[in-house]
Amino acid sequence: MKKLINNVADVVKESIEGLGLAFPELLKVSLQPRYVYRADAPVKGKVAIISGGGSGHEPMHAGFVGYGMLDAACPGEVFTSPTPDQMYEAAKMVHSDKGVLFIVKNYSGDVMNFEMAADMLKSEGIDVENVIIDDDVAVENSLYTQGRRGVGTTVLAEKICGAAAEKGYELKDLVELCRKVNSYGRSMGLALTPCTVPAAGKSTFELAEEEIELGIGIHGEPGRERIKIKSANELTELLAYPIIRDLPFEKGDRVLAFVNSMGGTPDIELFIVYRALHKILEKEGIIIERKLIGRYITSLEMQGVSITLLKLDDELVKLWDAPVRTPALRWGM
């Protein structure tokens, strides 16, 4: 294992310390328990939005703390859920009198730890709502499993709900909006290489030189199937069509197209995938109104890509375009 780390045990701590040193005007860092929060928190008269999950998916979530997005992010160990004391303390630090929205990816550990934190806060009279993101179409038999995993749509939900919170949406309206984003978003990803969790020291799975894993989650867990590598155009089709057919996205639908690097895939390849996706959507009569291309929800250094399509309406477009100022997403201000 070759990584730019000091001690395996300090990876998460030193990384969020570095984030805090780099963006003091945007955020502050608590080390005990671990959370990253807006420098100007608590923001009066605004619902606080908190997310979190295992580390290793950077910039999600700590890189999305700031104006127009998250009030706080709670990073667990690499690929391990954060514990409820983190969300509890973060919520106490950032909430004003308008309540707290937890945006939670659908992994059993995350769901339970956020629920426990919500119970603890509710017992103190703080209004908290959990919304679960489960947009991964690669999980086919969701009736017999934990259900679909939360992946790319999480980033879009955090941006859109963050903007709505700035505009003064009440907690119950934010819950409804977040559920709408989740119900309109679908994702799927693939891996060209596995990744290495620092504490494990070896790859999470093995792939032969010619193989790729189709339908991966974001923790290096196995996907739908293992296939021989194909051209970028063919691989993009293998991701795009399951997504399109699932919602389904139909002729005339307006979408946000999100092409995301799993960490190790460079922009030069991402734009080849975007080009292929653009052509597919054009052929299907689906209108790309907004796009996001880059490294936003990752699996450490994994090479691979995920595609997310989010069906848009006027409300979602307006909220997507609203100003945002975080380490990883910034426009309009």
Q: Tokens in use for 34?
A: 């671990």
Nearest to 320 by CA among 291, 283, 287, 286: 291
**Beta bridge mates, 70:** 65
Q: How far apart are CA 152 and CA 187, in angstroms?
A: 6
Choose the stretch contacting another protein; rule: CB under 8 A; options: 36-44, 73-81, 164-172, 179-187: 73-81
Binding mask 16-55 for another protein (x = CB under 8 A): -----------------x----------------------
Q: Is 57 tagged catalytic? A: yes
Q: Cα–chain-centroid distance for residue 36?
A: 16
Q: How far apart are CA 325 and CA 333, in angstroms?
A: 7
Measured CA distances, 284 to 51, 183, 248, 249, 290 (Å): 34, 21, 12, 9, 17
Given the residues 57, 61, 95, 278, select the one marked as catalytic.
Answer: 57
Choose the stretch contacting another protein; rule: CB under 8 A; options: 10-18, 109-117, 158-166, 205-213: 109-117
Binding mask 129-148 for another protein (x = CB under 8 A): ----------x-x--xxx--
Given the residues 61, 95, 219, 278, select the one marked as catalytic.
Answer: 219
Mention every residue, 6+ apart, whose C-beta is less than 8 A from residue 85: 33, 117
77 sits near another protein (criterion: CB under 8 A)? yes
Nearer to another protein, 222 or 285 (CB): 222
Q: Is 95 tagged catalytic? A: no
Nearer to another protein, 110 or 166 (CB): 110
Nearer to another protein, 87 or 174 (CB): 87
79 sits near another protein (criterion: CB under 8 A)? yes
Binding mask 220-239 for another protein (x = CB under 8 A): -xx-----------------
196 sits near another protein (criterion: CB under 8 A)? no
Give min distance, CB of 149 to another protein, in A: 8
Nearer to another protein, 33 or 247 (CB): 33
Give min distance, CB of 311 to another protein, in A: 26
Torsion sign (Cα): 66, 71, 75, 79? negative
Measured CA distances, 94 to 40, 70, 100 (Å): 9, 10, 9
Number of H helices, E strands in the chain: 8, 14
Measure the CA dihedral 153/184/163/150, to 10°.
-20
Q: Which residues are catalytic?
A: 57, 219
Q: Which residues make up the interface to another protein (CB under 8 A)? A: 33, 76-77, 79-85, 107-109, 112-113, 115-116, 139, 141, 144-146, 217, 219, 221-222
